[in-house]
Amino acid sequence: MFSKILIANRGEIACRVIRTARDMGIATVAVYSDADAGSLAVQMADEAIHIGPSPAAESYLIAEKILEAVRQSGAEAVHPGYGFLSENADFARTLEAEGIALIGPPPDAIAAMGDKIESKKLADAAGVSTVPGHMGIIADDTEAVKIAREVGYPVMIKASAGGGGKGMRIAASDDEVIEGFRSAQNEARSSFGDDRIFIEKFVEEPRHIEIQVLADSHGNVIHLGERECSIQRRHQKVIEEAPSPFLDEVTRQAMGEQACALSRAVGYRSAGTVEFIVDKNRNFYFLEMNTRLQVEHPVTEMITGLDLVEQMIRVADGEELSITQEDVTVNGWAIEARVYAEDPSRNFLPAIGRLARYRAPAEDGVTVRIDTGVGEGSEISMFYDPMIAKLATHGADRETAIARMQDALDGYYIRGTGHNTAFLASIMAHPRFKSGNFTTNFIAEEYPEGYAPLAPEGALLDRFCAVATYVHGRYADRAHQSGYAGVPGTLEQAQDWHVQIGGEMNATTITYRDDGADVRVHDQSIALDTDWTLGSPVFAARFNGEVATFQIDRLGVAYRVTHRGVEADMRVLTPRAATLAILMPEKEPPDLSKFVLSPMPGLLVSLAVEEGVEVRSGEEVAVVEAMKMENVLRAGADGVVKTVHAKPGDSLSVDQAIVEFE
């Protein structure tokens, strides 16, 4: 077995590989850029080697820098993780030539499956179902329109070297093909250095389901079942689960057999994933093969009990698989949610910054698992994917796994940067998700105007009011003991309060006891049992015996309370103050309708207007790039450009003015 391996990656996947290597008694070497000098992966590894500036194109993507680190450290093998050089056949060949093992597939398999056009031809030859489309390279948007008409709308425009949702567009008309071809080509060139584009039929009401395969160098190929990855946004996975709530046993077996057949056809070795698109009638079509470890591999590990990283290392060392297809068993259900630093209220745009507060829910590695590469104080950099962590839960059945995910999300406390935990909780609570009846269009269909937290209603509103009243009363008691004038009585007597949410007042009466309080809200009695302490941002309690967790932020004289994706800003007032508060006028927000603002920190790639030009509603105004994704900004109404506040090449901050209309 290898004595030392180098991880040619960063963040949570680097930490993940280090954990397994440590358990196997293998020393690890981390590589890091300027931005990652203080990262968790660097702290965890036995050695760490600096490989260059923060941009990935000047560090993690430079094969020679990785090779030099391997030589310097004396590592015998390289685990590439995912992204960066993980599917670079030339890198794999160079390692092979230098006698260094790649903990991954052979170079020829990477090359064969890395080209989406060639991989579809190979899949077709291996008897794998493929999506109808044009498999040749498309020269320009004129040819793209011609081919799209032949294939039939809607179509999917895809970068041949694409991945991670980059270089992909859906088009339902000639105009959308022209615009989508240009954007996909630009993204592909920027992300992969390869702007080849192809077009295929877009399968309507699709589900994205993938098969995990495992193969060794002795000709053994098995599959570990499927993962349901249909909950996506902009073609990027948000929620994954295993098994799929949609497949029947016949379809599951057929997909597994085809995935193994393709793996054998390309001489595959190591862990890999064959992705399929599945229509409403369970017809399935090959999408691509990812010749690496997948981001969502934890759900497969949780239901099979296998460590895929360990399997990859053993296979790379020449070992034969220790299990056969008959040995693979599925235990229960697992769900993974990707916790991102992004702003759901701004169409999920990246929200870079420092994690001023970071408190993860309790994990045991069995029912709750967290894969992360950050901690409190870590910087979410503009240079890389803004993932904070992967949160996975397991249960005997899907309902239990969902409930555990909801509890874990409620316990995730992140401040200093935007994050999507409330949105993830909203998905978990959605009736359509719980039913299992969804497609890859779920988020677009159920959140057409983007995500905004729901307001509490009914019994949940009562609980929100009880939490706010309890917390405020505790703070008021501390103020009373400190001698502040005008503060109501101590906790030893019943107190009357009014909880204001928007323009509504909710009368509450609270009586404290040593282990909580009894609260009356809307004529409902709530027995609240808690050991909450002043200053804690997470409020866990039993409400009439039922456990629930809330998050609390103090906003001046108000509290922001969050639970299960539901959120409310609440003020707790004395009866007299509540009477006066109703009379206060509301402050109107400034009118920004005449501005086009940058919705995120990013680079102004292009500007389509100039001062004095008349612009129609819906016309392109500017293109802003962030995290290698292009975002087209359009005019919200007809108007004439009064002032241009930025020029192409400028680095923009969030809400920075780009164009102002008359």
Amino acid at 265: A
Marked catalytic residue, from 87, 288, 336, 630: 288
- 249 catalytic per annotation: no
Among 361, 338, 371, which residue's Cα sits nearest to residue 17? 371
Measuring CA to CA, which residue among 117, 392, 109 is closest to residue 271?
109
Per the rule left: phi > 0, alpha: psi between -120 and 50, beta: everything else, 611 is beta
The phi and psi torsions of 604 (rounded to 5 degrees) equal -75, 105
What gap in Å lies between CA 414 and CA 421, rounded to an integer? 9
Whole-angstrom distance, CA of residue 106 vs CA of residue 89: 8
Question: CB count, 10 Å around CB of 557?
Answer: 10
Strand-strand pairing, 614-615 and 639-644:
antiparallel
C-alpha–C-alpha distance, residues 227 and 335, integer Å: 9
Structural contact between residues 113 and 287, judged by C-beta atoms closer than 8 angstroms: no
Peptide bond into 243 cis (omega under 30): yes
Structure tokens belonging to residue 396 = 């005997």
Rounded Cα distance between 213 and 267, Å, is 13
DSSP secondary structure string for all residues of 32-86: EEGGGTT-HHHHHSSEEEEEE-SSGGGTTT-HHHHHHHHHHHT-SEEE--SSTTT
3-class secondary structure, 221: strand
DSSP-assigned letters across all residues of 129-140:
-B--EE-SPP-S
Active-site residue list: 288
